[in-house]
């Protein structure tokens, strides 16, 4: 294959997240020991692969699930698996415990590796750095082009693909903005919701261009729409997209660009207020509290914003949002070393979790896993590392899918181990966190992991600490 065609192939991977594999003749560019690391990660993270797809209702081709099941079998199985008669593809044992995707002629098309808790098909001629730079080349439906039918663990179909008629209608409306209607407005909201679902799965830099495009479209059409239901739909979508843009910008900047993020949250609050969307307004306000708490390190300001979000969420009738806001208020109290107030807020949040119902306006914002994550962080801030370790360990064990969140949990768990002088366990957990960060690139997780590594400085001459330092340095060079 010529160089130009290969370059085009790589470009397609980054943009479409579909790997166009080609026969590879060399494997020397894979770092020493990488294949062994991949084999370990494949065995450890298969559950996360399926859980992620099912939790977020994403396409997962039947052949990919078959591959996952095969990889769960003992590594000494040597027989190939015929994936499907129509494809002629099979899996063979590869070097170092990896698996090779082989066509009907016996040509190795690519390696199955694991990055960010998900199985990935990567060309054998790619280095690990190239795979990561292409966004991990993640395939949640790798054989869809060959007619594979997407399935879920429950046996039902996944969400339907985007409506081409609605997309065509939006294209027309963008050229003739005076004709904006509910079809175009609803399509934009659906696209915004779909994009938001990917936040915890993908690097924020990969989501920013599309989020920015949708945001620009909504803002433009909102200025053209007459007063009425269409305008309110556009305003509500503007609020959701501005909040998402704030999240993405802050995360992509490794939680450094406070000003831009706050500007987006203020835009979201104004749009939600115009649309009468109290829940969206409360969530954007709560997001502002995150910047004060975790970015600017201003716990009193963050606590005040979180308390305001609690009040708004109560008006909206959302137990989920009230509980989430109370959790972050609790963390504000913890940063101020106010243990009794912190525990009272955490207890109130747990009560809201128990009272939450399916009809809640924001049911996805609060869960037992999120409760455990912030409880653990609070006890770390209060200096109770042993209690933090117990909470964070159990939370990390049951959490599947939310990779950015899990990296934060693991980073805090490592901190708990460091502060109890358990260096071996701390470095083991840090390797797990870096596994997730290598593709998700979550700014929050990266900051927490970096903080844990800094606290390992007294043991910097230990080989296990040096290994973690080298991995973190490599990760920072990719960001």
The tens digit of pLDDT for each residue in 136-188 reads 333 322 222 222 222 222 223 333 455 677 778 888 888 888 889 898 899 99
Tell me which range, 23-37, 92-106, 385-399, is most confidently predicted by mean pLDDT: 385-399
Q: Is the pLDDT of residue 334 over 80?
A: yes
pLDDT at site 18:
25
Mean pLDDT calculated for residue range 397-424:
89
Q: Is the pLDDT of residue 27 over 70?
A: no
Q: Is 100 in a helix, a strand, or coil?
A: strand
Q: Is the pLDDT of residue 131 over 50?
A: no
- Tens digit of each residue's pLDDT (9 = 90 or more) over 51-100: 555 555 554 445 445 555 555 555 444 444 444 444 455 656 655 445 66
What percentage of the chain carries pLDDT values higher than 70? 65
Numbers of helices and strands, H then E, in the chain: 19, 5
pLDDT at site 149:
25
pLDDT at site 467:
87
pLDDT at site 413:
96
pLDDT at site 66:
54
pLDDT at site 24:
29
Give one DSSP letter per residue of 173-227, joined into a string.
Answer: HHHSGGG--HHHHHHHHHHHHHHHHTTTTS-HHHHHHHHHHHHHHHHHHHHHSPT
CA distance linking residue 455 with residue 60, whole number of Å: 40
What percentage of the chain carries pLDDT values higher than 90? 41
pTM for this model (two decimals): 0.68
Closest CA to 478 of 113, 201, 114, 203: 203
pLDDT at site 8:
38
pLDDT at site 63:
45
Report which of residues 295 and 399 the model is more confident about. 295
Mean pLDDT calculated for residue range 462-473:
88
Mean pLDDT calculated for residue range 435-457:
86
pLDDT at site 290:
96
CA distance linking residue 202 with residue 65, whole number of Å: 21
Structural domain spans, the chain? 3-146, 162-276, 395-479
Q: Which two tokens stand for residue 274?
A: 């115009």
CA distance linking residue 383 with residue 385, whole number of Å: 6
82, containing H or E segment: strand 81-84
To the nearest whole number, what is the mean pLDDT of the chain?
75
- Tens digit of each residue's pLDDT (9 = 90 or more) over 220-278: 999 988 889 999 999 999 999 999 999 999 988 888 899 999 999 999 999 999 999 99
Let me know the angle formed at the C-alpha of 443 by 35 and 19, rounded to the nearest 5 degrees.
40
Q: How confident is the model at residue 134 (pLDDT cuts 50, 70, 90)?
A: very low
Report which of residues 70 and 325 the model is more confident about. 325
Report which of residues 96 and 441 the model is more confident about. 441
Q: Is the pLDDT of residue 478 over 80?
A: no
Instruction: Tell me the C-alpha to C-alpha distance, in Å, between residue 113 and each of 68, 106, 477.
Output: 11, 19, 21
Q: Is the pLDDT of residue 299 over 60?
A: yes
- The sign of the CA dihedral 187, 192, 194, 195 is positive
Closest CA to 472 of 437, 443, 444: 437
Q: How confident is the model at residue 281 (pLDDT cuts 50, 70, 90)?
A: very high
Q: Are 191 and 214 in contact (CB under 8 A)?
A: yes
368: Cα separation from own chain's centroid? 18
Q: Is the pLDDT of residue 331 over 90?
A: yes
User: Within 10 Å of residue 290's Cβ, how many Cβ atoms?
Assistant: 21
Any idea which of 138-142, 197-201, 399-403 has the lowest mean pLDDT?
A: 138-142
Any idea which of 93-97, 287-291, 350-354 has the lowest mean pLDDT?
A: 93-97
Mean pLDDT calculated for residue range 201-214:
83
pLDDT at site 432:
86
């Amino acid at each position: 294959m010529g160089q130009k065609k290969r370059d085009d192939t790589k470009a397609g991977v980054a943009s479409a997240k579909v790997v166009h594999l080609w026969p590879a003749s060399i494997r020397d560019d894979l770092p020493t020991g990488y294949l062994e690391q991949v084999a370990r990660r494949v065995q450890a993270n298969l559950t996360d692969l399926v859980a992620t797809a099912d939790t977020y209702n994403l396409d997962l081709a039947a052949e990919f699930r078959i591959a996952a099941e095969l990889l769960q079998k003992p590594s000494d199985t040597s027989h190939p698996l015929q994936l499907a008669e129509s494809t002629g593809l099979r899996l063979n044992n590869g070097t170092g415990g990896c698996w090779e995707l082989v066509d009907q002629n016996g040509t190795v098309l690519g390696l199955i590796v694991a990055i960010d808790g998900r199985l990935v098909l990567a060309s054998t001629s790619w280095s690990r750095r190239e795979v990561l730079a292409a966004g991990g080349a993640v395939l949640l439906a790798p054989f869809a082009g060959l007619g594979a039918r997407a399935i879920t663990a429950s046996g039902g179909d996944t969400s339907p693909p985007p409506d081409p008629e609605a997309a065509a209608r939006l294209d027309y409306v963008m050229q003739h903005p005076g004709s904006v209607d509910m079809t175009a407005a609803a399509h934009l909201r659906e696209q915004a919701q779909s994009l938001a679902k990917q936040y915890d799965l993908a690097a924020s830099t990969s989501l920013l261009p599309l989020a920015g495009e949708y945001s620009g479209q909504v803002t433009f059409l909102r200025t053209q729409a007459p007063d009425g239901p269409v305008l309110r739909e556009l305003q509500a979508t503007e609020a959701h997209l501005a909040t998402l843009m704030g999240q993405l910008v802050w995360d992509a900047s490794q939680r450094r660009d406070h000003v831009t993020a706050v500007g987006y949250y203020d835009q979201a609050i104004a749009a939600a207020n115009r649309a009468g969307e109290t829940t969206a307004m409360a969530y954007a306000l709560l997001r502002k509290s995150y910047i004060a708490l975790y970015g600017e390190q201003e716990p009193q300001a963050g606590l005040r914003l979180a308390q305001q979000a609690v009040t708004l969420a109560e008006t909206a009738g959302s137990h989920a949002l009230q509980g989430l806001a109370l959790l972050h208020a609790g963390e504000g109290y913890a940063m101020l070393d106010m243990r009794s107030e912190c525990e009272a807020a955490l207890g109130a949040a747990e009560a809201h979790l128990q009272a939450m119902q399916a009809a809640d306006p924001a049911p996805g914002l609060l869960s037992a896993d999120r409760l455990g994550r912030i409880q653990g962080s609070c006890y770390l801030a209060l200096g109770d590392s042993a209690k933090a370790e117990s909470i964070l360990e159990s939370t990390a064990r049951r959490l599947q899918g939310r990779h950015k969140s899990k990296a934060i949990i693991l980073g805090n768990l490592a901190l708990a181990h460091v502060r109890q002088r358990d260096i071996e366990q701390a470095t083991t957990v840090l390797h797990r966190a870096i596994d997730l960060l290598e593709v998700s690139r979550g700014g929050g997780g990266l900051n927490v992991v970096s903080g844990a590594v800094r606290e390992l400085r007294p043991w910097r001459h230990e080989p296990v600490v040096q290994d973690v330092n080298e991995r973190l340095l490599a990760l920072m060079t990719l960001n």
